[in-house]
Structure 1
Amino acid sequence: MSDEQLVRPAQVSGFPEWLPEVRLVELRWLDEIRQGFERYGFCSVETPSVEALEVLLAKGETSQEVYTLRRLQAEAADDGDARLGLHFDLTVPFARYVAAHFNDLVFPLKRYQMQRVWRGERPQEGRYREFTQCDIDVINVDHVPLHFDAELPRIIHEILTGLNIPAWSININNRKVLQGFYSGLGIDDPLGVIRIADKIDKVGAAGVEKLLATRTALTPAQIRSCLDLAHIRGVDAGVTADIRRLGVTSDLLTEGLDELSFVLDELSDLPAGSVVADLSIARGLDYYTGTVYEGKFLDWPDYGSICSGGRYADLAGSFIRRHLPGIGMSIGLTRIFAKLVAEGRLSTGPSCPSDILVVIPSDARRAQAQATAAALRSRGYNVEVYHQADKLGKQIRYASRKGVPFVWFPPFEDGKPHEVKDMAGGEQVTADPATWRRP
């Protein structure tokens, strides 16, 4: 093949990929996250990567982010696939799933879902076109008890603590507080203001102030009150007193403050500073109606959220004539991973899962090497057989480069014993594949 025929193997921007040693860590994390969800009785659900556009666009301002599907060789008149898109989150597909299988599900439905999602946005640090989310949701007929608003962040806190990532906090707010506060100020379009307030992490307080001044009809006094609210933070239910001191009242605000106080009280046993009430959190998606969450790295405050979510009143109601409220949180696995890789803070190990490499002494001994590997696998070890009868030094270097901890030597001659080499300590001893135990 000439140079002109070669296709440049460039990685597509916004679609991260990992070396094997990093991928192994990611797989272990996925296992730990799954086990954390299952400890609390959540069941696994998986939905297709593709949904009808009418499903994806049922709630929220998402149309600019959705990737649509179309066959490369589709004829102009064939628009069957044009109404399909890749899901941009897992919550909307889950709501559709609940509606589709409503009669076969047990409520309240407690589910987790760990899949890739796709968003058509400009790639930058912490923002990708393809990434893995790990969602946990509770959805029920008519009513989801408020205690789930505290249980979900507790589960996420437990999982993130177990992953031993750099310092972080889970920040909590309530959309009823925001909407009630804005309504109490006499603002006609509180949801529009929430969408602007949600940009505070991207553009800062000054940027939000400018957007409110240019894109809304708010008065300077109303804008100042909105910013005063956004600056309030606290670690316990006393934060509600700071909000009340701003002098704004409404029934919805009172309801939201009661809910926020309940969640903070329920989580008060967690380590100090790990759960914070942050009134700047808005969550821009329109379907959130109550408690909202955003997890942040403490060392990188300008970095995007590492977990997020909230309560929604009736997302599944777009697909079925039943009132099905829910609440959910998502761990942004790819966002966490990419940051730790970029900062050199991810501890990696070997580049393969093998516990043992069985060498091939000679072509004549290949069958014995395979039998040895089979015996060790039957006892629970991950075992790789070297691919050809090379010099022993080359086979051992192969194991070393891949990080395989043990190298097994079948008998080179009849009547000789098996031997195993500990690659870390260098010790080589006789061993029986039927009884050997990893030190």
Structure 2
Amino acid sequence: MARTTSLSGFPEWLPEERIVEQHVLDELRRTFELHGFSSIETRAVETVEQLLRKGEIDKEVYGVSRLQQDEDEKSPKEGALALHFDLTVPFARYVVENNGYLTFPFRRYQIQKVWRGERPQEGRAREFTQADIDVVGDGTLAFRYDVELALVMIEALSRLPIPPFVLRVNNRKLAEGFYRGIGLDDAPAVLREIDKLEKIGRDAVIANLQANVGATAEQAASALDLASIRTEDTSFVKQVRALGVSNDLLEEGLTELAEVVGEAARRAPGKVNADLSIARGLDYYTGTVYETVLVGHEQLGSVCSGGRYESLATTGKKNFPGVGLSIGVTRLVTRILSQNMAKASRAVPSAVLVALNDDESWSAAQDVAGQLRARGIATEVAASPQKFGKQIRYAERRGIPFVWFSTVQEDGTVTHEVKDIRSGEQVTADPTAWQPPHEDLHPTVEAPETA
């Protein structure tokens, strides 16, 4: 289980926990690259103006400054810097600045740390890793990418040692068109209140819609009727139309959402729901929005979210519309570890410890280790020629499965043997040819055995 660190909200993993995290990252990276996404990395800081131009989370942003400024430096407010709180806003800036060097549609994945000043709790850290994929177009972007990204994320999450999950999808056009159709013109304000539904409940949201948005009781009830619709197929279209609201934007959103849900339900049945309560709090989303929950762990919140944005990346004269999804890697890994969903087979990469007979044999032991490493076998050499029993116990404490022994015979020849310290089996081996079993070559991540 993950430890509690001395600085709350800034998790640090033990070596065996880090192996689990690296396994998650490797599976995500492998999946993203299989689908043609290129890796990028953006700087950790952005200007405060850039970070806060969309959305309302300024209280969560960490500012960055030197402890002591030179007299000729700008005042703190001029060109102030802050740590990025997500990867989408920095990516939008990256696209604008590099659009002349990119080929569109541009497919990127990005796995980096982000920082957010939230109250620390399980699933919410102040420093955490996100893994994002986005596709961005030059001027236009085919809606088909909204469907494709949902399928890529379903595949990526399916490779991880996590419980069953459901990707919940909605469409901002559908929601905004519906609100306008019932006379609520401030759709972003309505969405912000609907986004609180799971946290505060239906009655409190209705009260907030009346107090904060100016909705009538009937309008608020209609907005909540829409948010209550959830289906595993495209039957939500009929249910929405049964509410009797007419609006062109609503119809456009219905068509788009039906395309995403219909295709995803065909390819990954049971893993996608149309959920018309999904709003997403950030203002830059304009169409499809996604959230993902682990079945049986819904209280953890969304582990993978995102959506379509039309004008987050813009030069003023040209837009670079995009659609993207982001996995909260640290949130997932924390739950995997705390619930013992997976564990590493060992805490170290080393598969072999080369034992020492005496101090004079250290150089020859390094030669053996070099031959093993040349074939991709992680190897350590004992630091001192203790009794073999102590060297074996050292390997056992480290989790190293094999110990290598080299013996110089009377005629000057050298014989080699390798011992599996788990089974006790010891066999003659050639350092230029011996190979450990495939499952022992590297640490593996697997579900714990159950009684």
Same fold (TM over 0.5): yes
Look up the match of 2:275.
Answer: 278
1:364 aligns with 2:360: yes
What does 1:250-261 correspond to in 2, within 5 Å? 250-261=247-258
Deviation at 1:412, TM superposition (A): 5.7
Equivalent residue of 1:288, what SS? Answer: coil
What does 1:267-346 correspond to in 2, within 5 Å? 267-317=264-314, 319-346=315-342
One-letter identity of the residue aligned with 1:166: P
Q: Is the 8 A contact 2:172 2:279 kept in 1?
A: yes
Unaligned residue ranges in structure 2 (runs of 5+): 438-451
Alpha-carbon distance change, 144 to 431 in structure 1, aligned in 2, over 3 angstroms: same
Alpha-carbon distance change, 10 to 22 in structure 1, aligned in 2, over 3 angstroms: closer
Deviation at 1:374, TM superposition (A): 0.4
1:57 aligns with 2:52: yes
TM-score (ref. length: structure 2):
0.92
Deviation at 1:416, TM superposition (A): 4.2
One-letter identity of the residue aligned with 2:334: A
Q: Is the 8 A contact 2:278 2:290 kept in 1?
A: yes
Look up the match of 1:244.
Answer: 241
TM-score (ref. length: structure 1):
0.94
Could you give the per-residue CA deviations for residues 403-435 of structure 1, whole angstroms, max 9, x where no partner exists? Answer: 222111222655341111113322111111011
One-letter identity of the residue aligned with 1:171: R
Alpha-carbon distance change, 133 to 10 in structure 1, aligned in 2, over 3 angstroms: closer
Q: Is the 8 A contact 2:167 2:291 kept in 1?
A: yes
Equivalent residue of 1:309, what SS? Answer: strand
Look up the match of 1:32.
Answer: 27
Equivalent residue of 2:150, what SS? Answer: helix
Look up the match of 1:14.
Answer: 9
Could you give the per-residue CA deviations for residues 346-388 of structure 1, whole angstroms, max 9, x where no partner exists? Answer: 2222111112121222211100111110011111111122233
Q: In the comparison of the two structures, how many residue pairs are matched?
A: 430
Deviation at 1:133, TM superposition (A): 0.5
Alpha-carbon distance change, 10 to 21 in structure 1, aligned in 2, over 3 angstroms: closer
One-letter identity of the residue aligned with 1:123: P
1:384 aligns with 2:380: yes
Q: Stretches of 4+ moved more than 6 A in 1?
A: none
One-letter identity of the residue aligned with 1:361: N
Deviation at 1:286, TM superposition (A): 0.2
Look up the match of 1:3.
Answer: none
Over the aligned positions, Cα root-mean-square deviation in angstroms equals 1.7
Q: Is the 8 A contact 2:5 2:12 kept in 1?
A: no
Deviation at 1:78, TM superposition (A): 4.3
What does 1:13-412 correspond to in 2, within 5 Å? 13-74=8-69, 78-79=73-74, 83-317=80-314, 319-411=315-407
Equivalent residue of 1:134, what SS? Answer: strand
One-letter identity of the residue aligned with 1:45: I
- Tell me how far apart the structure 2 counterparts of residues 203 and 428 of structure 1 sit (CA, whole Å): 63
Look up the match of 1:5.
Answer: none
Match of 1:423 among 403, 421, 429: 421
Deviation at 1:207, TM superposition (A): 3.0
- Tell me how far apart the structure 1 counterparts of residues 223 and 395 of structure 2 sit (CA, whole Å): 61
Could you give the per-residue CA deviations for residues 127-182 of structure 1, whole angstroms, max 9, x where no partner exists? Answer: 11111110000000121111111111111111111113111111100011111111
Q: Is the 8 A contact 1:141 1:324 kept in 2?
A: yes
Alpha-carbon distance change, 73 to 412 in structure 1, aligned in 2, over 3 angstroms: farther
- Tell me how far apart the structure 2 counterparts of residues 248 and 87 of structure 1 sit (CA, whole Å): 40
Alpha-carbon distance change, 110 to 10 in structure 1, aligned in 2, over 3 angstroms: closer
Q: Is the 8 A contact 2:16 2:343 kept in 1?
A: no
Q: Is the 8 A contact 2:161 2:336 kept in 1?
A: no
- Tell me how far apart the structure 2 counterparts of residues 201 and 287 of structure 1 sit (CA, whole Å): 22
Equivalent residue of 2:424, what SS? Answer: coil
- Tell me how far apart the structure 2 counterparts of residues 205 and 424 of structure 1 sit (CA, whole Å): 58
Q: Is the 8 A contact 2:230 2:274 kept in 1?
A: yes
Equivalent residue of 2:184, what SS? Answer: coil
Identity of aligned residues (%): 49
- Tell me how far apart the structure 2 counterparts of residues 360 and 122 of structure 1 sit (CA, whole Å): 52
Deviation at 1:76, TM superposition (A): 7.8
One-letter identity of the residue aligned with 2:15: P
Equivalent residue of 2:362, what SS? Answer: helix
Equivalent residue of 2:265, what SS? Answer: coil
One-letter identity of the residue aligned with 1:242: Q
> Which sits farther off after the overlay, 79-88 or 376-385?
79-88
